[in-house]
Structure 1
Amino acid sequence: MNLFLDLLTLICICAAGGVGAGLRWLTETRVQAVTGDRLPWGTFVVNVVGSFLLGVLLGAVSPGGFTAQVFGLGLLGGYTTFSSSIVQSVRAGGSEGLLSGIVHAAGTALGCVLAALIGLQVA
């Protein structure tokens, strides 16, 4: 690949990542407004939906291609958030008890894996 195409790909990934982060914020705040602040349902929804969409994307296009990089790495990478989910699991474990933190972390991981597998099957 030449330098121009590498730079263009980088710019597209960065732009898509910014859009994904904005969509994450919108989704999280809307879900939390409905569910309340007791549990971090907004982050859970974002990660499960993002995993499903990534499964659909990677089932439909070449994993190393431009489309997968921009929409998978950029848009969906900006949309989903593993680090926030882990922090929320730790917080839940501290405020609600260790079992709550473990259930949140395990439930998120299982939900995301299942959503990605379903997404791959849909594509």
Structure 2
Amino acid sequence: MNWLLVIAGAIIGAPLRYLADRTIQSRHDSLFPWGTFTVNVVGCLILGLLTGAVAAGAASSAIRLFVGTGLCGALTTYSTFSYETLRLAEDGTRFCAAADITASVVAGLGAAFTGVALARAIWA
């Protein structure tokens, strides 16, 4: 039964990632991969909020599998982040590559911490 929850979440997360990435990237005329950056940061925020909710007893293990593993697992994408950053570096835009790495790590961790703090504020 657990694997069905993961699959159900991924069925939502994967197309959501694709559509969000394409929509966001089409609105920016730059080499920086704004679409991937955005879905990864949003995924970190959701996962942080979920982690805090589970710790507070406000979310079940089924929700964690559906949202955390399934939806966030398919929504966020480390492989695309790595590929796009490598392409930036290979194309001679090393500053954009370094900015992508730095911004993704800082914003991703910040979003996760923010999510946990929000959960604590809501369910504490």
Whether TM-score is above 0.5 comes out as yes
Task: List structure 1 segments (4+ residues) > 3 angstroms apart after TM superposition.
Answer: none
Map 1:8-19 onto structure 2 (within 5 A).
8-19=1-12
TM-score by length of 1: 0.86
Q: Which residue of 2 aligns with 1:76?
A: 72
Report how far residue 12 of structure 1 moved: 1.6
| TM-superposed deviation, 1:100 | 2.5
State percent identity of aligned pairs. 30
Unaligned 5+ residue runs, structure 1?
A: 1-7
Paired residue for 2:24? 31
Aligned residues: 116
1:85 pairs with one of 77, 81, 84? 81
Residues 16-67 of structure 1 show CA distances to partners (whole Å, capped at 9, x for unaligned) of: 1121001001110110111135221000000001100110111012588221
Question: Structure 2, unaligned stretches of length 5 or more?
Answer: 120-124
RMSD: 1.7
Where 1:25 maps in the other structure, the secondary structure is helix
1:103 corresponds, among 88, 99, 102, to 99
Q: TM-score scaled to structure 2, two decimals?
A: 0.86
